[in-house]
Amino acid sequence: MFKLLLTCLFCVVVTSATTQNIITEKNIRFIEYYGFPGGNSAWDDIGYNPMDNTVYVGITDHRDKVALYIYDPVKDSVKLKGFINDLGRLRSFQWQAKIHSKFAVGPKGEMYFATDGGESREEYLMEHPGGYAGGFMMKWDPVQDRMTNLGMGMQYESIKDIDVDITTGNVYAVSYPQVHFLIYDQQRNALKDYGRLGSAHVPRMMFTDTWGNCYYTDWRQRLVKYEKSQDKLIFASNSLPAFEGTPGEHIITGITAFAKDEKKGVIYLITYGAKVLAFYPQQNGIGRVEDLGGVIDIPGKQRWNYYVPNLNVGDNGKLYYIIGGHGIYAKKDRSLLVEFDPATKTPRILFEYPSTVFVEATGCNTKDRDGNMYFAGKKNIPPGTDKNGGLAELGGLSTVPFLVKFNPDKTVY
Amino acid sequence: MKRLIIGILQLYVCQLYAQYSFFTPEDAFAIEVSLDNTSLKRLPGYRNAITSLVVSGDYIIGGTSADAGLTPFVFTASLSKREMHSIVDVENVIPGQQRIRTGFSKGKNNTFYAGTLPGVIDKKPNAGGHLIAVTVDAGGHPVIRDLGIPVPGEGIFSLTIDAKGNNLYGITYPAGIFFSYSIATKKINTYHDIVPTAKDTELFSEYLLEADDYLCSALAVARNGLVLGSAPVNRMFAFNPIVQQFEFFKKEIPEVWGRRSLGQIESWAMAANGKLFAGNAGDGQLLEVDPVSRNIRNLGKPIMMPRLRGLAFAYNGKLFGIAGALPGYAHLFSYDPAKEGFKDYGNPQFKMIAPGVEQGIDWRGFQLGTIASSEDGKYIVIGEDEAFSQLLVFPASAAKD
């Protein structure tokens, strides 16, 4: 209760109650993890399992320890299921610094994810004795409470994201730093490498459609589709829309977030150039893309220069995302929770937080049966005030992670 | 002031993403060679690994290798315009070929010779890899002339040319037969002296090595006319074209202990004074090879990884090379025997500007397959070996001691 009050004190409700639904602090909640004081962050590694209505999150110390948590919204309970190195039977020389991929559900309700080596130690020590062996794909069976290690992607390479063909259980993956597009056929234990698709920075997000085709972006921020029916990659002829003046380093990073509105047959995307897009997938060929505008427009700031590594679609058809992180903020050291109406193409800021309350969130397309949406959040701990023992990210500030539960239509307490 | 703050913020973000620096010299650039589904002049995916590379005047000439079942290209790109210029689909000239991995050997009248490897090794008399002669016409378009199949049923794995531009020397794939080809008379001689013996093959099978791993991957002609290369197992040979005899060096190719079976020369470069340098794929050592004394001097390894895929001298006598390959990634390095020895530049990362990406994007080179210097030695050109390969170019003067 004290924490709720504290959160309320620090957040600024900026919504207007005149013509729109009233959204207050009762609609958002920060849920703490337990049992891993060194854990400081999550990196897109959140996902929803519709089979048993649970939310999965990986929390890391950004060094060599990653915890698996499962949140049950009905019981309102967070459970620490264990640490990836133990659950996945990894040896010490197969250390993993984080899970960077989403948690993606398979055909039988199993949850898939992949591991990542983190920063410089992963990328440059390589074949050195202290180097990184490579990222693994893993499968969690919620019925048996058991992890299966599906093996490595590429030697020395992290896996930044995965998704799953819901019809076959094949796992799509993208490697870091060489941006190789991989498909793992677990029935045949066959890994196929479709080669390098990116430039100097790896786009962090891939996603699938209802037919099980997978999408990614190339170095020109063009959609690349794995066309299942042809077993090949096809490329959009045009780049995704971008604001004039968007720098190259934002183009090559592709999309940072997606969320599906399956009723409407649309997948919403946010680019690293801060565009909101509506993508209408089709079974064969690459579908239509509609430009919905910018994620926000703060006077005096470039339209492309907002960082949004998260996105959810509410049951009301509106988009919700948190702007800010990785040194890019709409307002200095403040994160904004924004509602975006695709019908009117307008954003409105619902909450504004100082970075010591809420600094950054990841997580896409994570919504439970009751329309509650989830993000993997964290807050900065000012130097010298860390009472929780959370380790600083390598080269960064000390942070404490939490699960964000948000529902614009209901209280979440 | 606002720009300064943004700059500082972006620097901070960059630091978060990458706690290291790349080789990004001023005036370096990348040329987009490969891109699928485009109206631009580009090579399609999986057919564009730049495995042969040379520079002739303003034109970079590339020969590619394709994935299984696909066919390669020969292309030109302009150094001054920093863009692709012209493409020839080899399938339209010689059907059924998959790889051009011999590099280009410069002959008379700006003619560049290479060999092809077919997609399927077929022992029929009219099947196999072809010798090709490539010229660049007045419009900058590559013109390929088919010189025929030197050894039926075999592809061409490596190739070089003598100093006068009269004779080509090559090694076939997968048998490893050495051959000579007279450009004037088209006469072909074959020699089986370096073909792996049954004992060699047995050793290679113990290490699960295949022809790609043990056949001599690059040949050179020394100032004294000897043709130099590697032969199984871990030996250096010299072929004397006058007497048509092979001699094997008494000294083996330097090895990392236990890895003798991996010895394979895959690159050569000749300095202005005639000194020859070679790269050993087996463990990535740079070697100085003396064709007179038959001495092989181990200059060391620029990085931990095996492979040394290419070497090229710049105008100032600095030797540039490519060390490392999958499963790691290649590093650009230089070697200066008088001053600093080896210098590792890591991955080059150069700006790519092209229609549609006019603001420029950074292209980081991971798998570097080939390296060549411009005719005046002022530019170093690197060809990638990827599913979508590009060219990376930098002024040699930018790589300072």
For A92-147, what is each residue's pLDDT tens digit?
Answer: 999 999 999 999 999 999 999 999 998 788 888 988 989 999 999 999 999 999 99
Per-residue pLDDT at A181: 98
Residue of chain A nearest B9, judged by CA positions? A327
Q: Which of A346, A252, A365, A244 is nearest to A292 (CA)?
A: A346
Q: Is the pLDDT of residue B11 over 50?
A: no
Q: What is the DSSP letter of B66?
A: -
CA distance A243 to A220: 14
User: In the structure encoding, which two tokens stand for residue A268, read together?
Assistant: 């919403």
For position A170, what pLDDT does the model report? Answer: 98
Closest chain B CA to residue A202: B17
Check residue B345 and give its pLDDT: 96
Q: Which residues between 262 and 301 in chain A have a beta carbon less than 8 angstroms from any beta carbon of chain B?
A: 300
Cα dist. B369→B63, B73, B299, B332 in Å?
Answer: 11, 16, 22, 11
Are B319 and B340 spatial neighbours (Cβ–Cβ below 8 Å)?
no
Which residues, including other chains, have CB under 8 Å from residue B81's CB and lie 6 or more apart?
A: none
Contact B345, B302 (CB under 8 A): no
Q: Which helix (H) or strand (E) holds B4?
A: helix B2-17
HSE of B301, CA atoms in CB hemisphere, 13 A = 14
Q: How confident is the model at residue A6 (pLDDT cuts 50, 70, 90)?
A: very low
DSSP codes, B245-265: EEEE-SSPPP--TT-GGG--E
Substitution target in A126, A225, A244 with the highest count of B β-carbons within 10 Å is A126
A300 to chain B: nearest residue by CA? Answer: B2
Q: Which one of A116, A120, A127, A154 would you mutate to disrupt binding with B, by most B Cβ within 10 Å of its Cβ?
A: A127
Q: What is the pLDDT of residue B124?
A: 83
- Residue A5: per-residue pLDDT: 41
Binary contact (A200, B387; C-beta < 8 A): no
Separation CA B167–CA A10 (nearest Å): 81
DSSP tag of A5 = H
Looking at residue B19, what is its pLDDT? 52
For the stretch B193-202, contacts whose Cβ atoms lie closer than 8 Å and that sit 24 or more positions apart, written own/partner, are: B193/B231, B193/B237, B193/B246, B194/B229, B194/B231, B194/B232, B194/B237, B194/B246, B196/B232, B196/B233, B197/B232, B200/B232, B200/B233
Alpha-carbon distance of B368 to B381, in angstroms, equals: 10
B103 and B122 Cβ atoms separated by less than 8 Å: no
DSSP-derived secondary structure letter, B212: H
What number of other Cβ atoms are within 10 A of residue B292's Cβ?
Answer: 10
Q: Give the minimum alpha-carbon distance from B227 to chain A in angstroms, rounded to a whole number.
A: 36
HSE, CB side, 13 Å, CA atoms: give it for residue B302: 34
- Counted residue by residue, chain B has a size of 401
Please answer yes or no on whether A251 and B9 come within 8 Å at the CB atom. Answer: no
Specify whether the CB–CB gap between B154 and B170 falls below 8 A: no
Rounded Cα gap, residues B374 and B55, in angstroms: 5
The 10 Å Cβ neighbour count of residue B345 is 17
| CA A283, chain centre distance (Å) | 25
Q: Which pLDDT band holds residue A357 (cuts at 50, 70, 90)? A: very high
Q: What is the mean pLDDT of residues B292-314?
A: 97
pLDDT at A363: 97
Mean predicted confidence (pLDDT) in A81-87: 98
Residue B40: list chain A partners with CB under 8 A: none
pLDDT of residue B161: 98
**Phi, psi (5° rounding) for residue A373?**
-105, 150
Q: Residue A32, exposed/middle/buried by CB under 10 A (0-12, 13-18, 19+)?
A: exposed
Instruction: Give A 54-93 residues with CB within 8 A of chain B.
Output: none
Give the pLDDT score at B7: 44
Identify the residue among B364, B367, B390 best suited for mutation to test binding to A, counting A beta carbons within 10 A and taking the highest.
Answer: B364
User: Tell me: the pLDDT tens digits for A197-237?
Assistant: 999 999 999 999 999 999 999 999 999 999 999 999 999 99
**Nearest CA distance, A75 vs chain B (angstrom):** 38
CA distance B68 to B66: 6
Q: What is the pLDDT of residue B399?
A: 83
Q: Cα distance from A155 to chain B (closest Cα, Å)? A: 6
Write down the ipTM of this complex.
0.93
- Identify whether the C-beta of residue B192 lies closer than 8 Å to the C-beta of residue B172: no
Task: Flag if A200 and B17 touch (Cβ within 8 Å).
Answer: no
Q: Which of A122-131, A159-168, B183-192 has the lowest mean pLDDT?
A: A122-131
Contact status, residue B389 vs residue B33, Cβ threshold 8 Å: yes
Give domain B23-398's CATH superfamily: YVTN repeat-like/Quinoprotein amine dehydrogenase (2.130.10.10)
Judge whether B361 is closer than 8 Å to chain A, CB to CB. yes
Listed in sequence order, the residues at least 6 apart from B175 whose beta carbon sits closer than 8 Å to its beta carbon are: B151, B154, B195
Angle formed at CA B379 by CA B132 and CA B139, multiple of 5 degrees? 50
pLDDT of B123 reads: 83
| Chain A hits for B12, Cβ within 8 Å | 327
**Least confident span in A87-91, A285-289, A301-305, B18-22:** B18-22
Please report the DSSP string for A219-260 in residue order.
TTSEEEEEEGGGTEEEEEEEEPP--TT--HHHHTT-EEEEEE
Between A392 and B378, the more confident residue is B378
Instruction: Answer yes or no: is pLDDT of A387 > 80.
Output: no
**Helix, coil or strand: residue A92:** helix
Chain A contact for B37 (CB, 8 A cutoff): yes
Q: What is the mean pLDDT of chain B?
A: 94
> How does pLDDT run across A19-69, given as a tens digit for each residue?
467 999 999 999 999 999 999 999 999 999 999 999 999 999 989 999 999
Q: How far, in Å, CA of B135 to CA of B143, rounded?
A: 5
* Rounded Cα distance, B376 and B397, in Å: 12
Helix spans in A286-359 (H): none
Say yes or no to pLDDT of B10 above 80: no
Share of chain B above pLDDT 70, in %: 95
**Which of A127, A251, A305 is the closest to B305 by Cβ?**
A127
Q: Which chain B residue's Cα is nearest to A307?
A: B13
* Residue type, position B51, single letter: T
Interchain contact A156–B (C-beta under 8 A)? yes
Q: Which residues make beta-bridge pairs with A46? A: A57
Is the CB of B69 inside 8 Å of chain A's CB atoms? no
Q: What is the pLDDT of residue A4?
A: 41
d(CA A390, CA A149): 28
Instruction: Give the Cα separation of A176 and A321 in Å (integer).
Output: 25
Structure letter (DSSP) for residue A393: P
Q: Map residue A4 onto helix, strand or coil.
A: helix
At a CB cut-off of 8 Å and minimum separation 6, what does A321 contact? A257, A270, A295, A308, A310, A311, A312, A337, A338, A340
CB A267, CB A281: distance < 8 Å: yes
Q: Which residues of B touch A235 (CB under 8 A)?
A: 35-37
Give B117's strand partners.
Answer: B99
Q: What is the model's pLDDT at position B199?
A: 96
Instruction: Provide the 3-class DSSP secondary structure of residue B161.
Output: strand
pLDDT at A364: 98
Q: Give yes or no for B185 touching A (CB within 8 A).
A: no
Question: Does B387 lie at the interface with A, CB-CB under 8 angstroms?
Answer: yes
> Going from the N-terminus, what domains does chain A have, and what CATH number goes with each?
30-406 (2.130.10.10)
The mean pLDDT of B75-92, rounded to a whole number, is: 98
Residues A161, B322: Cα–Cα separation, whole Å: 30
Quickly count helices (H) and strands (E) in chain B: 3, 32
pLDDT value at residue A347? 98
- pLDDT single digits (tens) B117-175: 999 988 888 899 999 999 999 999 999 999 999 999 999 999 999 999 999 999 999 99
Residue B15 has pLDDT above 50, yes or no: no
Bond before B25 cis per omega within 30 degrees: no
Q: Which residues neighbour B214 within 8 Å (Cβ) at sequence distance 6 or greater?
A: B196, B200, B204, B232, B233, B261, B264
B329 in reach of chain A (CB within 8 A): yes
Q: How far apart are CA A74 and CA A57, in angstroms?
A: 17
